[in-house]
């Protein structure tokens, strides 16, 4: 007989298996309370199942005290960018003491559960993750991969009555180290270090630039404070110049309007003066024409007036019209010839003057009316001198 003790703080489930010779028989579903029990080691085989949290290490050359993971090694991966690292990881598990007997019934013992079920599932899962990830993702996104693996593997392991507490990923290792070659993962780490250094330098440069800008602002503020009086005076001068310019502009605008108004007035005045002068000249001409017509009417015969005008003009001539000496052989003939010459001269003068001896005196009536209209003369009843009798009318009245 052997005694088996179960302490509550260890949380170990004791599975009792009845044996018959070399063949084990059915498993007894025994859930004993803490205490000591008398067992027959020849009839019953004790299988210990850990009911507290325990760790399994998939790390080559490392094993826990329970030795459940002594056959587990680091997982060989192939990433999406062609790296072939070995991934060490640890798995924290927990088996409920109420479900421990079902684990033994299904797998026989815990080690067989690990090697035949947990190891293949875990290895396949991380190889699938590596095929969709880059090497830098395994280095920089470890926390995210751990969280997702804990959730997904926890759902899978629940089918086997196992609770996943945590999945812990270690630093990936290169297979080429064992062959004496350079570690490409270390090169990636160097790149990460350089990238981080560049980020830090960029942040440092940004801070330095900000400090330089603040220094420039400070210097400008100091210089502005030192020249504040000059700045104020210059600002006032600018405002004064602006106002002066606006005033000059307004003055120039008003002056331009004034000049335009004066020019328009002067043009209007010249126009009125021209009209007045032309009216005056017309009035003078018409008055002279009226006087001339009155003179012609006074002579009763236009020919007499024309001869008078010609005689007056000839009298003012500096060129002698007749020889200073005239020789006459016969006085009677000369008088007769003189009469003929005078008659011929009068006819020539009348013809050259455009005087038609047969013209009716009434043809000057329209001219008299026109002159009277523009000279403002009164009607015939007002004693208008233009309304005197024409020579023809005078002859008719004389004959009567």
Lowest-pLDDT range, 196-210, 269-283, 382-396? 382-396
Whether residue 269 is predicted with pLDDT greater than 60 in this model: the reply is yes
Q: What pLDDT is recorded for position 325? A: 64
- The model's pLDDT over 338-386, given as tens digits with 9 standing for 90+, comes to 444 555 566 566 555 555 544 545 555 666 666 666 555 544 444 444 4
Nearest Cα to Cα of residue 110 among 59, 169, 70: 70
- The model's pLDDT over 213-262, given as tens digits with 9 standing for 90+, comes to 999 999 988 888 888 888 788 888 999 999 999 999 999 999 999 899 99
Q: What pLDDT is recorded for position 351? A: 58
**Residues 87, 103 contacting (CB under 8 angstroms):** no
Whether residue 67 is predicted with pLDDT greater than 80 in this model: the reply is yes
Whether residue 292 is predicted with pLDDT greater than 70 in this model: the reply is yes
- The model's pLDDT over 373-382, given as tens digits with 9 standing for 90+, comes to 655 554 444 4
106: confidence class by pLDDT, cuts 50, 70, 90: confident
Q: What pLDDT is recorded for position 109? A: 83
Whether residue 35 is predicted with pLDDT greater than 80 in this model: the reply is no
Higher local confidence (pLDDT), 352 or 147 = 147
Whether residue 116 is predicted with pLDDT greater than 70 in this model: the reply is yes
Q: What pLDDT is recorded for position 180? A: 63
Whether residue 15 is predicted with pLDDT greater than 60 in this model: the reply is no
Q: What pLDDT is recorded for position 62? A: 84
Strand pairing report for 85-87 and 173-174: antiparallel
- Where does the chain show beta strands of DSSP type E? 2-6, 12-20, 23-28, 35-39, 44-50, 54-58, 75-76, 85-87, 89-94, 163-169, 173-174
**Residues 11, 31 contacting (CB under 8 angstroms):** no
Q: Which residues make Cβ contacts (< 8 Å) with residue 91, sequence separation at least 6?
A: 55, 56, 57, 58, 118, 122, 153, 164, 166, 167, 168
197: helix, strand or coil: helix
d(C-alpha 157, C-alpha 143), whole Å: 21
Whether residue 91 is predicted with pLDDT greater than 80 in this model: the reply is yes
Higher local confidence (pLDDT), 73 or 397 = 73
Q: Can you spell out the DSSP letters for 210-227? A: HHHHHHHHHHHHHHHHHT
Q: What pLDDT is recorded for position 230? A: 81
The mean per-residue pLDDT over the stretch 7-28 comes to 44
CA angle at 78 for the pair 77 and 82, rounded to the nearest 5°:
150
- The model's pLDDT over 153-201, given as tens digits with 9 standing for 90+, comes to 999 999 888 899 999 998 888 876 656 667 777 888 888 889 889 999 9
**Residues 176, 182 contacting (CB under 8 angstroms):** yes
How many percent of the chain have pLDDT more than 90? 19
Tokens coding 93: 């598990």
Nearest Cα to Cα of residue 14 among 23, 69, 57, 2: 2
> What's the chain's average pLDDT?
75
């Amino acid at each position: 007989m052997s005694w088996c003790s179960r302490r509550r703080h260890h949380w170990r489930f004791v599975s009792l298996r009845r044996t018959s010779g070399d063949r084990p028989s059915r498993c007894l579903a025994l859930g004993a309370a803490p205490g000591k029990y008398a067992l027959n080691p020849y009839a019953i085989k004790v299988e210990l199942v850990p009911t507290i949290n325990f760790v399994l290490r998939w790390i080559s050359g490392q094993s826990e005290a329970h030795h459940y993971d002594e056959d587990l090694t680091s997982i060989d991966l192939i990433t999406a960018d062609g790296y072939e690292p070995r991934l060490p990881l640890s798995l924290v598990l927990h088996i409920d003491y109420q479900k421990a007997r079902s684990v033994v019934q299904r797998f026989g013992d815990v080690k067989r559960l690990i090697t035949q079920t947990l190891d293949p599932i875990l290895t396949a899962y991380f190889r699938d993750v590596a095929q969709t990830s880059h090497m830098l993702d395994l280095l920089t996104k470890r926390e995210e991969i751990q969280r997702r693996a804990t959730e997904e593997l926890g759902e899978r392991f629940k089918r086997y009555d196992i609770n996943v507490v945590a999945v812990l990923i270690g630093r990936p290792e290169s297979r080429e180290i064992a062959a004496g070659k350079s570690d490409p993962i270390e090169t990636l780490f160097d790149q990460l270090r350089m990238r981080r250094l560049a980020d830090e330098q960029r942040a440092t440069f940004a801070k330095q630039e900000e400090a330089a800008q603040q220094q420039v602002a400070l210097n400008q503020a100091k210089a502005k404070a030192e020249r504040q009086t000059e700045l104020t005076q210059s600002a006032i001068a600018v405002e004064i110049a602006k106002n002066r310019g606006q005033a000059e502009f307004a003055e120039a605008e008003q002056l331009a309007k004034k000049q335009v108004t004066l020019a328009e007035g002067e043009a209007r005045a010249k126009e009125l003066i021209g009209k007045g002068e032309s009216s005056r000249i017309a009035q003078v001409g018409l008055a002279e024409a009226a006087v001339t017509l009155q003179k012609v009417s006074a002579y009763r015969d236009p020919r007499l007036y024309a001869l008078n005008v010609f005689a007056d003009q000839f009298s003012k001539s500096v060129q002698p019209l007749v020889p200073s000496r005239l020789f006459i052989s016969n006085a009677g003939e000369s008088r007769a010839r003189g009469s003929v010459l005078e008659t011929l001269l009068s006819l020539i003068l009348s013809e050259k003057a455009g005087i038609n001896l047969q013209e009716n005196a009434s043809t000057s009536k329209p001219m008299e009316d026109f002159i009277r209209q523009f000279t403002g003369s009164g009607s015939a009843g007002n004693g208008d001198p233009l309304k005197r009798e024409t020579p023809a009318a005078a002859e008719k009245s004389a004959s009567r």
